[in-house]
Structure 1
Amino acid sequence: MFESEVQLRVRYAETDQMGYVYYGNYAAYYEVARTEVFRRLGIAYKELEATGTMMPVLELKCKYIRAARYDDMLTVKLLLRKKPAGSRILFEYEVYNEEGTLLNVGETTMVFVDMKSGRPTAVPDLIHQKMDSYFRE
């Protein structure tokens, strides 16, 4: 299993009139966590695209437990419980506030797509090389 965390502060522009984080922003928080995870693994997403592979979102799930508010420092925990296989990768997320209270859980299923054909493709070797050590049994 692979696990990583990223912290971010809620900006005023990310809140609604009630002062809560607008629900649609959680997808953006998930994206920040994914991008940083790849960067920490030594994979720049633009490098992946340069090889002709993109990773669109196939499915997004999001469950709101408690509200995040303006100026909260959030920790977004990203979990990969399964090694990427076939043409897909499943990311799970947990969002916590500074007190460690769980605010949100979610997941995204991403699919590796060949940019020329627009068709799903196998998990790139670069991804396997960087992640295999986390999934040895």
Structure 2
Amino acid sequence: MDFNRISFRVRYGETDKMGVVYHGNYAQYLEMGRVEWLRQLGISYKSLEEKGIILPVISLRMDFKKSAYYDDLITVETSLKNRPLVKIEFDYKIYNQDKEVLMVANTVLVFMDDKTKRPIRCPDYVLEKIEK
């Protein structure tokens, strides 16, 4: 799978007094994008956690281009950057209903054993689903 798109409207509570999306909310939008990217493969965060695997973010880069406003219909486009080994890296593009790019971003997460809190290799079943 090359990429996944999800679209939703900006909620009032995500904006400041000027109706502009608060920059901190974009990290949640990115999380929504990657959760849905994985879900489209048939993998949920919940199922990973039930198997004792967690995926903490170890790097987050955001480059803002334009503002998003209350009630804008925004789309998060999420793509896998590389074949995961111990880390999984995603690129994102967020744009509005007019197809204007609002921001681009990148996150790196690490596969980690929940008990030992040590990095582990990407599970084979995840790799198999990615490579289909």
Query: Residue 46 of structure 1 corresponds to which residue in structure 2?
Result: 46
CA contact 1:33–1:77 (8 Å) conserved in 2: yes
The separation in 2 between residues aligned to 1:127 and 1:58, in whole angstroms, is: 20
The separation in 1 between residues aligned to 2:81 and 2:33, in whole angstroms, is: 15
TM-score for both structures, normalised by structure 2: 0.97
Query: Residue 2 of structure 2 corresponds to which residue in structure 1?
Result: 2
- Percent identity over the alignment is 43
Pairwise CA RMSD: 1.0
CA contact 1:60–1:109 (8 Å) conserved in 2: yes
Deviation at 1:129, TM superposition (A): 1.4
The separation in 2 between residues aligned to 1:82 and 1:60, in whole angstroms, is: 16
Gaps of 5+ in 2: none
TM-score for both structures, normalised by structure 1: 0.93
> 4+ residue runs of structure 1 moved beyond 4 angstroms?
none
Can you list the C-alpha shifts for 1:104-136, whole angstroms capped at 9, x where unaligned? 000110000001100000001121011013xxx
Deviation at 1:63, TM superposition (A): 0.8
Q: Is 1:64 aligned to 2:64, yes or no?
A: yes
Query: Residue 111 of structure 1 corresponds to which residue in structure 2?
Result: 110
Can you list the C-alpha shifts for 1:70-121, whole angstroms capped at 9, x where unaligned? 0000010001131112x10101100000010000000110000001100000
Gaps of 5+ in 1: none
